[in-house]
């Protein structure tokens, strides 16, 4: 260490240089391109300073910040949670209902997912698809890849094996080619064949749940289970599909449609799956099916179809119309929360400006311009609101996880982005007034205010 | 800008018939300054003295570019500042003036280093350069070892030295000190005044605003203000 004081040459050295700058004011500064770049850079530096001030302010007033942000947190949580549930339902619908198979559409008594009223109407007016119509289409329809039929039994079917019972099993009669059209995959054994179909064989293809229940440790193939009083030999097991809406999708027993007719329903109502070669051919094929069906049912040209043709895209758009209503309500609620949250933020920022008047005076005396102060407070309120948005995102992730256990929910990325952007924008907007109040403070008055 | 009246290169401050009038409403006007004219040259060590109510605070605010005169011209280091806008004044304050206040006016939540960095932040100095300059300034006031302390962890004298470092960091044309020892005991006050003396020896222009004779005695020139006018311009040889 030196003995004497450090020499103070630094301050004096540049003094003569300054003397030359006579007449250089703001005008010359602005006209230079380098000065412009320097100013942008300067704005970045002051923005960074403002950002740290904001973080510091949040840290030093934790409880106050949390209470302030409650509105924004609730708004963001609500928004993202609802979007997640709707997204989850959409995914479910897309996966399990609208996913009819590759390039496949389904001819059924009515149009699916069209709302309760029109469903009631269609149910009264339309006629079920019968086996003859399936056979007719199979024979008359030109140029399709596959055509299969599917019939269910409504009501409870219980499956039994050696004293054990699995309740509420879905029992379906199907044509053998449905394995190529539908979503089920063979995991073990095989699906039923044309021969099984022709001979109304007492065989079945089962979902994973039956194996888990009846044959957890042994090979299920060739074991006989009892469904609705009839014995079926298991010839194949499907790969696991999973659960949706808390319900297992693996509790099914498929038997040949002919067996189904013989044992349970002589004249079943069918859902006919028609598979095209490629997506472009779908529309053509749909039109041909419609024309053939109308001709066979002799529907006058002015009347509506007495059947429904269900394709993935029409199903999805119908579904989105339903979920759109949920969205509209949510947007209203979120908007109210956001405005309330924004006003609370504005209020606290006004208090903060009053509290920090002296600080503003100091900063102004040191050369902070109006826009520096403006930016400081706008960034503070934006960071605060964004933090609220962040908390909302975390909360909604937790909520989504919980909801997903009992229903369905999946947080979409765009909901997170929208939540964060929206809360930041709210903070920014409601920060403008307090910030401009701070920026307009007179430095002398501000300095005179007690800290 | 009135080019004809612009001062020469050696002149840092030139005021020309400065008036500051406060309108108190109902046609009552209070004249805080009534035509003050003086010049301060580069490297001078000037004290502005006067009793309270004399207008010295108003004069300090004008010199410090915190306020603009009602009438008259003021040049600071060649800039005609008496007619500038708020933001232009802020720019001049940042570049040309180093303030030292009676109450230190440090940011309580920021470290000494950050306090010294503030003026550099507002002129867009990059972080590395800023750190270097701030450390240098703190070293000049012998506080290099305390740069990470917050103001409440420093003594009054140390706080005022941080404020001096902050005033120095931008290499301003003038250091403007408003009762810099007013909140300090006499021994510490004397220390701070010695620091100002050294700054003056190093070539800085210093303007002290005070009502204490002991403090003003450090300066080489004393402007006595009374009733908004310069009463006496006393040079100490």
Which has more confidence, A351 or A41? Answer: A351
Q: B156: burial class by Cβ within 10 Å (0-12, 13-18, 19+)? A: middle
Least confidently predicted of A10-14, A392-396, B136-140? A10-14
Kindly state the greatest CA–CA separation across chain B: 56
Residue A95 DSSP label: I
Give the one of A23, A56, A369 whose C-beta lies nearest to B78's C-beta: A23
When comparing pLDDT for B125 and A434, which is higher?
A434
What are the two backbone dihedrals, phi and then psi, of residue A376, each rounded to the nearest 5 degrees?
Answer: -55, -50
Lowest mean pLDDT among A7-11, A174-178, B61-65: A7-11
Among residues 155-194 of chain B, which lie with CB inside 8 Å of chain A? 166, 168, 170-171, 173
A12, A20, A372: residue with CB nearest B122 = A372
Residue B220, min C-alpha distance to chain A (Å): 18
Chain A stretch 327-366, residues whose beta carbon is closer than 8 A to a beta carbon of chain B = 358-359, 361-366
Q: Residue B76: inside a domain, yes or no?
A: no
Q: b/e for A195-233, b at 16 or more Cβ within 10 A?
A: ebbeebbbbbbbbbbbbebbbeeeebeebebebbeeebe
**Angstrom distance (rounded) from CA A5 to CA B195:** 9
Question: Who has greater pLDDT, B168 or A99?
Answer: B168
Average pLDDT, chain A: 85
Q: pLDDT confidence of A288, banded at 50, 70, 90? A: very high
Cα radius of gyration rounded to whole Å, chain A: 35
B9 at interface of A, judged by CB pairs closer than 8 A: yes
- B66: contact with A, CB 8 A cutoff: yes
What is the per-residue pLDDT for A12? Answer: 40
Q: Is there a contact between A5 and B202 if contact means CB atoms under 8 Å apart?
A: no
| Nearest neighbour of B119 by CB, restricted to A26, A38, A367 | A367
Q: In whole angstroms, what is the distance from residue B90 CA to residue A40 CA?
A: 17
Asked if the C-beta of B118 comes within 8 angstroms of chain A's C-beta atoms, the answer is yes
Segment A188-202, tens digit of pLDDT: 999 999 999 999 999
Confidence at residue B81, expressed as pLDDT on a 0 to 100 scale: 87
pLDDT band, residue A29 (cuts 50/70/90): very low
The C-alpha of A426 sits at a distance from chain B's nearest C-alpha, in angstroms, of 27
pLDDT at A235 over 90: yes
Q: How far is CA A218 from CA A161, A213, A215, A221, A254, in A?
A: 13, 11, 5, 9, 21
Q: What was the pLDDT predicted at A9? A: 41
* CATH number, position B135: 3.40.50.300
Output the average pLDDT for chain B. Answer: 89
Check if B81 contacts A (Cβ < 8 Å): no
- pLDDT of the residue at A245: 62
Q: What is the pLDDT of residue B150?
A: 94
Position A342 scores a pLDDT of 93
Angle, helices A62-92/A33-60, rounded to nearest 10 degrees: 100
Number of independent structural domains in chain B: 1
- CB contact (8 A) between residue B121 and residue A38: no
Distance from CA of B88 to the nearest CA of A (A): 7
Is residue A408 predicted with pLDDT exceeding 90? no
Residue B160: predicted pLDDT = 94
Cβ-Cβ contacts under 8 Å, B127 against chain A = 45
The answer to whether A70 faces chain B, any CB pair under 8 Å, is: no
**pLDDT value, residue A32:** 57
Residues of B in contact with A367 (CB under 8 A): 90-91, 93-95, 119, 122-123, 170
B78:A8 CB<8 A = no
- Among A1-10, A356-365, B135-144, B177-186, which is the least confidently predicted range? A1-10
Of A43, A44, A367, which has the smallest distance from its Cβ to B90's Cβ?
A367
Contact B121 A12 (CB under 8 A): no
| Of A10, A38, A42, Cβ closest to residue B136 | A10
Rounded-to-10 torsion of CA B157, B158, B160, B166: 160
pLDDT tens for each residue of A137-180: 999 998 889 999 999 887 778 899 988 998 889 999 999 999 88
Local confidence band at A44 (pLDDT 50, 70, 90 cut-offs)? confident
Q: For residues B131-142, give the mean pLDDT.
A: 93
Is B173 domain-assigned? yes
Whether the predicted pLDDT of B135 surpasses 80: yes
User: Taking CA atoms, what residue in B is nearest to A49?
Assistant: B121
Instruction: Average the pLDDT over each of A96-110, A290-304, A429-443, B135-149 and give the range with the smallest value.
Output: A96-110
User: pLDDT > 70: what percent of chain A?
Assistant: 90
Q: Which residues of A touch B166 (CB under 8 A)?
A: 366
Alpha helices in A14-104 (DSSP H): 15-20, 26-31, 33-60, 62-92
| Domain annotation covers residue B124 | yes
CA distance to partner chain A, nearest, from residue B9 (Å): 6
For residue B62, pLDDT over 50 is answered with: yes
The Cα B121–Cα B112 span in angstroms is: 14
Least confident window among A310-324, A403-417, B49-63, B98-112: A310-324
Domain that holds residue B90: 44-69+84-235
pLDDT, position A451? 62
What was the pLDDT predicted at A381?
92
Residue A325 has pLDDT above 90, yes or no: no
Q: Closest CB to B124: pick one of A5, A42, A444.
A: A42
Q: Which helix (H) or strand (E) holds A147?
A: strand A146-152
Q: In A268-304, which positions are buried (b, 16+ CB within 10 angstroms) versus exposed (e)?
A: bebbbbbbbeeeebbeebbebbeebbbeeeeeeeeee
In a domain, B119, yes or no: yes
Q: Do B118 and A363 touch (CB under 8 A)?
A: yes
Tell me, what's the pLDDT at A6? 43
> Residue A54: pLDDT above 90?
no
CB of A21 within 8 Å of a chain B CB? The answer is: yes
């Amino acid at each position: 260490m030196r003995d004497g004081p450090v020499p103070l040459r630094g301050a004096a050295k540049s003094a003569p240089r300054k003397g030359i700058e006579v007449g250089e004011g703001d005008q010359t500064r602005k006209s230079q391109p380098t000065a412009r770049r320097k100013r942008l850079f300067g704005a970045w530096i002051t923005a960074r300073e403002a950002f740290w001030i904001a973080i510091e302010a949040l840290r030093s007033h934790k409880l106050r910040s949390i209470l302030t942000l409650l509105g924004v947190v609730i708004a963001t949580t609500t928004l993202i949670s609802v979007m997640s549930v709707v997204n989850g339902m959409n995914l479910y619908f897309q996966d399990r209902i609208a996913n009819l198979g590759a390039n496949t559409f389904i001819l059924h008594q009515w149009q699916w997912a069209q709302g309760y009223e029109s469903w009631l109407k269609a149910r009264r007016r339309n006629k079920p698809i019968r086996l003859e119509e399936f056979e007719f289409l199979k024979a008359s329809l030109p140029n399709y890849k596959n055509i299969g039929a599917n019939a269910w039994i409504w009501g409870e079917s219980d499956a039994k094996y050696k004293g054990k019972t699995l309740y509420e099993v879905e029992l379906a009669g199907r044509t053998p080619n449905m394995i190529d059209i539908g979503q089920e995959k063979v995991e073990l054994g095989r699906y039923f064949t044309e021969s099984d179909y022709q001979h109304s064989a007492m065989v079945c293809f089962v979902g994973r749940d039956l194996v888990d229940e009846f044959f957890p440790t042994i090979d299920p193939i060739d074991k006989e289970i009892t469904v609705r009083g009839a014995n079926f030999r298991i010839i194949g097991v499907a790969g696991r599909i999973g659960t949706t809406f808390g319900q297992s999708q693996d509790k099914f027993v498929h038997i040949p449609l002919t067996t189904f007719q013989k044992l349970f329903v002589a004249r079943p109502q069918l859902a006919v799956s028609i598979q095209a070669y490629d997506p472009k051919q779908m529309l053509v094929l749909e039109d041909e099916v419609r024309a053939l069906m109308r001709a066979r049912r002799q529907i006058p040209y002015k009347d509506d179809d007495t059947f429904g043709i269900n394709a993935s895209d029409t199903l999805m758009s119908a579904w989105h119309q339903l979920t759109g209503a949920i969205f509209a309500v949510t947007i209203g609620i979120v908007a109210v929360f956001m405005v309330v949250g924004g006003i609370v933020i504005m209020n606290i920022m006004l208090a903060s400006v009053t509290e920090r008047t002296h600080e503003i005076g100091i900063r102004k005396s040191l050369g902070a311009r109006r826009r520096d102060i403006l930016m400081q407070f706008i960034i503070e309120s934006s960071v605060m609101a964004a933090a609220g948005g962040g908390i909302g995102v975390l909360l909604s992730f937790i909520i989504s996880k919980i909801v997903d256990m009992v229903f369905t929910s999946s947080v979409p990325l765009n909901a997170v982005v929208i939540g964060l952007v929206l809360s930041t924008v709210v903070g920014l907007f409601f920060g403008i007034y307090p910030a401009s109040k701070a920026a307009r403070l007179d430095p002398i008055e501000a300095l005179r205010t007690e800290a | 800008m009135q080019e004809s009246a612009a001062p020469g290169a050696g002149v840092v401050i030139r005021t020309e018939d400065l008036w500051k009038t406060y309108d108190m409403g109902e046609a009552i006007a209070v004249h805080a300054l009534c035509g003050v004219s003086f010049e301060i040259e580069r490297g001078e060590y000037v004290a502005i003295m006067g009793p309270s109510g004399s207008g010295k605070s108003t004069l300090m605010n004008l010199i410090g570019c915190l306020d603009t005169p009602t009438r008259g011209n003021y040049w600071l280091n060649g800039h005609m500042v008496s007619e500038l806008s708020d933001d232009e004044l802020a720019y001049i304050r940042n570049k040309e003036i180093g303030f030292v206040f009676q109450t230190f006016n440090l940011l309580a939540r920021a470290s000494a280093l950050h306090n010294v960095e503030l003026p550099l932040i507002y002129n867009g100095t990059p972080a590395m350069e800023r750190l270097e300059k701030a450390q240098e300034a703190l070293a000049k006031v012998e506080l290099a070892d305390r740069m990470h302390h917050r103001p409440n962890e420093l003594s009054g004298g140390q706080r005022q030295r941080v404020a001096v470092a902050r005033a120095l960091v931008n290499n301003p044309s003038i250091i403007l000190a408003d009762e810099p020892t007013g909140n300090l005991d006499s021994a510490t006050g004397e220390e701070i005044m010695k620091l100002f003396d050294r700054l003056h020896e190093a070539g800085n222009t210093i303007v002290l605003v005070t009502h204490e004779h002991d403090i003003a005695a450090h300066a080489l020139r004393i402007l006595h203000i009374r009733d908004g006018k310069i009463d006496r311009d006393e040079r100490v040889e």
